[in-house]
Amino acid sequence: MAGDSEAKCLRADLIKSGKYSDLTITCKWRVFKVHKIIVCPRSSFFAKACDGNFLESLTNNIELRDDDISTVERMLCFLYTGNYHDEGQDPSSDVVPIDVEQIIKMDVQPSVNASLILVTLSAASQRHTPPNPREKITVDANTLLNNVSVYAIADKYDVPELKELAICKFKTRCVGHWNDDVITTIAKAVYESTPANDRALRDQMVRICHIYAYRINKYLPFRSLLSENGEIALELLDVTLASLKRRDTFLSQVAELMKWQRNRLRSSEGG
C-alpha cells in the first residue's frame, strides 16, 4: 500500500538522519540517534528503560556494551522498517553494510517460507535420503550467523516480532548444501546463544544435523562439539531414535500389508 510504503520511507529517513531524535543508543564507538515513539512500543526493554526510574530515563542514553554493532543496527532497522538485511560479513564485525533504502523494498512472507522449509526438512528426514552431493548451492555461514545473532538480541531486548522474522529468515537460508564446518559453526552458535527452553532455532538446527548425520559424525570438529556440548548430542540422539521408530513403524505396517495381501491371494486361489 502506498501509505504504508511512505511511512516506511519516512521512518527510514529518520533512522538515517537522526532528525528529531530524543534518545541515543550507544554500542561501543557507534551512537544511534533514535526516537522513543518508534523503539519503545516494540520493545519492552527500551520502554522500561525510558519510563522507569533509571539513569537512562534521565540521560536519554542507553548503552549496549555487550552487543555487536551490526546486530544492533539490524535490530533498529527492524524497529523502524519492519525488516532487516541478513546478508553480509560476520556479525561480530564493526563494519555495517546495511542499506535502509533497500530494506524497505524487501517483501517478506514468513509464513509461506517457514512452511516450505519445514515440509522440506521433514520429508528429507523421514526418507533418510542424503542431500544430492552434486548440488552446488551452498548455504552461507555469515548470513545464518547474522540471523542467529538477530534472534538472540531480539530475545534479549524483548522484540517478539523480530524473533519471528529472524527464525523465518534462518529457515529460508537453510535451503542448500551444508558443509561440515558450516554445520559445526552454526550449531555451536545456536546452542550458545539460546536457552534450552527456546526451541525455535535449536529444533531447526538439530534437524539439519540429523539430515547430515551420515557424514557429519566423521567430522572431528563436530565430534568435539558433541563432546563439549551434551545438549546437542542428547537432542540429536532423540531425533535419531524418533526417526528409527518411525521407520520401524513403517516397516511393520508394510509387513502387515504384505501378509494381508498374501492371505487374500491364497483365499482367491482356494476359491
Is the CB of residue 62 less than 8 Å from the CB of residue 56? yes
Rama region for 174: left / alpha / beta (φ>0; ψ in -120 to 50; rest): alpha
Residue 255's contacts (CB-CB under 8 Å, 6 or more residues apart) are none
Across residues 208-226, what is the average pLDDT? 89
Is the CB of residue 239 less than 8 Å from the CB of residue 213? no
pLDDT level of residue 4 (50, 70, 90 thresholds): low
Tell me which of 56-65, 67-76, 91-100, 158-167 is least confident. 91-100
Across residues 61-76, what is the average pLDDT? 95
Question: Does residue 121 have a pLDDT over 50?
Answer: no
More confident of the two residues 245 and 108: 245
